[in-house]
Structure formats: structure tokens, C-alpha cells
Homo-oligomer: A and B are copies of this chain.
Amino acid sequence: MSGIEALDVLAEQFARLPGIGRKSAQRLAYAVLKYSPEEIAAFTSAMTEAKEKIHRCPICQNLTDREICPVCADQGRDRSVICVVEDARAVMAFERVRSFSGVYHVLHGLISPMSGVTPDALTLRELLARLEDTSIREVIVATGATTEGEATAMYIARLLSPLGVKVTRLAHGIPFGGELEYADEITLSRALEGRRDFE
């Protein structure tokens, strides 16, 4: 608390962001105060515009500023293989590797009883709707190798098992506890190549 209300309000806004503690939030609020009015306007309009322009792709649920995301719009991608990921950052990680030619399905979260995230909060309904298309051969469940990632993968495998579609998961090339977006490209490539059926 600085004793200056407008500054405390701004610091609180920064403190709400993930991974930003009280001290850091205060530091960031002071940094913003040093901005020119034009710099402030650039920051606030970047926020407003990102929110206005970006929405979920109606097919894969990934974030996009187009009607349909570039991956879903690309006629060269193999629509018979769907890679199910936690979030847009995981899609970016796979796209950087360039070894996956299928399409994605973005869950926008992982099941987490601890944080109160139930399966309803994920885009599983949309995934089931996509699987009504019988040309889909395989669903790769590519959630991270964390406790929540594994639990979500098991849940999806059980959910899809009555449909008769092949459900695979990433090989354990990813170190345990590792977040997907920090995996290096070789690890991620190998994890993709070595994917195996759910037992």
C-alpha cells in the first residue's frame, strides 16, 4: 500500500495476474506511471483490442482473430487426426516443431478438483460433437505430464472409449512435472512419434 489510492488500485490489477506477487505488482504500477500518456494509451488499447478481436475458432476452439483459425482453414492438414491440448500455447509449441500435420482441439484448461475446474469447464462437448464425423481416425491426447494433465488425459480416454475412435497419448519423452510449452523441440517431436494407445 502506497497511500496513493490510484496507485494501489493499479498495483492490485497487476497482482491479479498469474505469477505476479505484491512486490512485483507495485514495481509494475510504478513503471506504468513513468509512461507517457501515449504509451499508456498504446497499452490499454492493446488490451481492449486483443479482447475484442480474439475469439475461439468455432472448429478447434483455439484462439484466433480470423473467422476460422489458420490450422483449421488449411486444406493441407489431415483432419482425421485431432491433437487435444490444454491451451493455445500448446498449439504454438506443436506448430513450432512442424512435425504434426493433423488438426487440434483446445480444451482451455485441465480438470483440477483442487482449483474447482470440473470437466464441464473444458471444451469436451465440442470435442464429442466433432467426433460425430466418422472420418476421424485418431485422437492424440497431448496434455502435459503433470498430475492434472494425466488426470485429464485419463478422463478423455474413458469419455471417448465408447466411440471406437483410436485414442493415443504422447510418449513419456516429456519429463514429469514438465509444462508442454517449455519442452524443447526434440523432446516434443519424440513424444509425438512415440505416442501409444491408452491401455
List A residues 172-192 near B (Cβ within 8 Å).
181-182
Task: For A5, list chain B residues within 8 Å (CB).
Answer: 65
Q: Answer whether residue A47 sits at the interface, using C-beta atoms and an 8 A cutoff.
A: yes
Q: Answer whether residue A68 sits at the interface, using C-beta atoms and an 8 A cutoff.
A: no
Q: Do residues B46 and A13 form an inter-chain contact, with CB atoms below 8 A?
A: yes
User: How many copies of this kind of chain does the complex include?
Assistant: 2
Q: Do residues A6 and B42 form an inter-chain contact, with CB atoms below 8 A?
A: no
Task: For A4, list chain B residues within 8 Å (CB).
Answer: 54, 63-65
Residue ranges of A at the interface with B (Cβ–Cβ < 8 Å): 2-7, 9-10, 12-13, 17-20, 23-24, 26-33, 35, 37, 40, 42-44, 46-54, 63-65, 70, 87-89, 92, 95, 181-182
Q: Do residues B3 and A50 form an inter-chain contact, with CB atoms below 8 A?
A: no
Q: Do residues A51 and B40 form an inter-chain contact, with CB atoms below 8 A?
A: yes
| A63-B4, A64-B4 known; A33-B19 Cβ under 8 A | no
Closest chain-B Cβ to A188's Cβ sits at a distance in Å of: 16
A89–B181 alpha-carbon span in the complex (Å): 35
A195–B72 alpha-carbon span in the complex (Å): 68
Which residue in B26, B32, B42 is a CB contact (below 8 Å) of A51?
B32
A87–B2 alpha-carbon span in the complex (Å): 12
Interface majority SS (helix, strand, loop, mixed), chain A: helix
Q: A3-B70, A19-B28 are in contact. List 15 more A-B contacts (CB 8 A).
A: A2-B92, A9-B46, A9-B49, A13-B47, A17-B31, A17-B32, A18-B27, A18-B28, A20-B28, A29-B50, A30-B88, A32-B51, A33-B63, A37-B51, A44-B44
A51–B52 alpha-carbon span in the complex (Å): 24
Task: For A19, list chain B residues within 8 Å (CB).
Answer: 24, 27-28
16 intermolecular pairs with C-beta atoms under 8 Å apart: A6-B52, A6-B53, A6-B65, A7-B65, A9-B49, A10-B46, A10-B49, A13-B47, A23-B182, A26-B89, A30-B87, A32-B51, A37-B51, A40-B47, A43-B47, A44-B44
